[in-house]
């Protein structure tokens, strides 16, 4: 596990943790190697550069067992090869009553209304059709 770009660790003591992300938690013995994408702890020895970077970014918070310790650690999702996952930026699409995306001044007005917590609709939407009746 230690040659990959995915953070991998060796447990320094017994711990209840998943061996791999998304796996079920199990009681693992000291010396077990795991892949872990969360905040590393003092019971984990980093085995590769990715894990050492996560450990260093965690700083003093990684050395405490206090579960309430605040940690500003941005985890980067990675592919199995270790390459970062390129995610598209989140976007909101504002659509007009005609079902087409808004543009220009109408888009700016809708975005401003949305940012202010209001409705972006220029005119009220028609009521939904009544439910079908039994034949």
Pairing of strands 44-46, 8-11: antiparallel
Residue 93 sits in the same domain as residue 81? no
pLDDT digits (tens, 9 = 90+) for 58-113: 776 666 666 555 444 455 566 667 666 665 555 667 777 777 777 888 878 877 77
Residue 92 sits in the same domain as residue 63? no
Residue 70 sits in the same domain as residue 112? no
Has residue 79 been placed in a domain? yes
Tell the residue number behind the tokens 């034949």, with chain if given. 135
Residue 24 sits in the same domain as residue 35? yes
Does the pTM exceed 0.85? no
Domain hosting residue 115, numbered range: 88-120
Residue 5 sits in the same domain as residue 41? yes
Based on the structure, what is the number of domains in the chain? 2
Question: Do residues 29 and 47 touch, judged by C-beta distance below 8 A?
Answer: no
Residue 15 sits in the same domain as residue 81? yes
Has residue 11 been placed in a domain? yes
Has residue 64 been placed in a domain? yes
Residue 66 sits in the same domain as residue 2? yes
Residue 60 sits in the same domain as residue 104? no
Query: Highest mean pLDDT: which of 26-30, 56-60, 66-70, 124-128?
Result: 26-30
Structure tokens belonging to residue 133: 């009746």
pLDDT score of 89 = 52
Residue 16 sits in the same domain as residue 71? yes
Has residue 134 been placed in a domain? no
Which class for 36: exposed (0-12), middle (13-18), buried (19 or more C-beta within 10 A)?
A: buried
Has residue 125 been placed in a domain? no
Residue 26 sits in the same domain as residue 63? yes
């Amino acid at each position: 596990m230690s040659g990959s770009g995915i953070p991998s660790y060796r447990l320094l003591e017994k711990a209840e943790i998943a061996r791999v992300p998304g796996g079920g938690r199990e009681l693992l013995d000291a010396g077990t190697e795991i892949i872990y994408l969360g905040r590393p702890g003092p019971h984990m020895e980093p085995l590769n550069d990715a894990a050492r970077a996560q450990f260093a970014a965690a700083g003093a918070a990684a050395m405490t067992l206090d579960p309430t310790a605040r940690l500003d650690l941005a985890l980067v999702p990675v592919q199995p090869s270790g390459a970062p996952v390129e995610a598209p930026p989140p976007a909101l699409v504002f659509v007009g009553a005609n079902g087409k995306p808004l543009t220009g001044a109408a888009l700016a007005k809708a975005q401003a209304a949305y940012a202010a917590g209001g409705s972006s609709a220029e005119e009220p939407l028609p009521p939904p059709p009544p439910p079908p009746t039994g034949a």
